[in-house]
Structure 1
């Protein structure tokens, strides 16, 4: 899937792998502990560029339905744009 962030650069798209539920859980935890390790993990799991891996990590929200940038409420979409700051959020519901 290709996706973009209205806040970062709406003219540039990034390739996002189709992550499994377990990969999402692992990446969210790694991102909270060490974003650098999370970037390395994405690149190990999927053949994506460093630029795309950094994009993914910088847009994962640590809490479901809360914007990673401004902490405002989000909808339930898995990939959603914050209505307040216009930042893309990887809004993964991992509590299931």
Structure 2
């Protein structure tokens, strides 16, 4: 389940960047809102999956409430899910 969560986190991070740095400028500078509609829909679905997988992984990964909150809040900021992947989602060394 963690491997799936890592994939979703990566895609969610990419969709956030695409929305903020491509689709929104295309809407407000070029006047073409179709990118916001399409990328925004994909981002919304990935955001919901990200949060759902965070909830599903909270207990098996033994995340504290603080760690869980950080992981969930990371979905709101560009580049943050990439940090979360490095810090919390990679396989733990034995």
Please classify the TM superposition score into its range, dividing by the shorter chain length: 0.3 to 0.5
Structure with the largest fraction of helix:
2
Which one has more relative contact order, counting CA pairs under 8 Å at least 6 apart? 2
Q: Which has the larger radius of gyration?
A: 2
Q: TM-score, normalised by structure 1?
A: 0.33
